[in-house]
Amino acid sequence: KAGVTQTPRYLIKTRGQQVTLSCSPISGHRSVSWYQQTPGQGLQFLFEYFSETQRNKGNFPGRFSGRQFSNSRSEMNVSTLELGDSALYLCASSLGGQASDTQYFGPGTRLTVL
């Protein structure tokens, strides 16, 4: 079974631009979560989607948004990029039905904002 895939793997943008990142979950997984990882901060939870609905959200500004499609693929968008948005953005998928189900991560998208 193919793992979680994320595109693009690397991205360079300038301040003020916007960016869209894509995540394809493991086949059969309906939950997709997004995380931001920066040095010294660890993984910070952005949001989770399940069956095309956002069902949990972290403490990030409204510039960060996401959506999920009927095939469970998910995108996240960051508008008006700031230098501090430079990070590794990780997507994780899970079956989504049970409280204890395990999240599996993709390789991440490395975003650099200049």
Partner 1 sequence: DAKTTQPTSMDCAEGRAANLPCNHSTISGNEYVYWYRQIHSQGPQYIIHGLKNNETNEMASLIITEDRKSSTLILPHATLRDTAVYYCIVRRLDAGNNRKLIWGLGTSLAVNP
Site residues for partner 1 per CB under 8 A: 4, 35, 40, 42-45, 48, 55-56, 58, 88, 90, 92, 99-100, 102-108, 110
Helix (H), strand (E) at residue 74: strand 74-78
Q: Which residue has the tokens 């189900």?
A: 101
Q: 48 or 85: whose CB is closer to partner 1?
A: 48
Other CB atoms within a 10 A radius of the CB of residue 46 amount to: 22
Of 16 and 68, which CB lies nearer to partner 1 in the complex structure?
68
| Cβ proximity to partner 1, 42 vs 62, nearer residue | 42
Q: Which residue has the tokens 């301040």?
A: 15
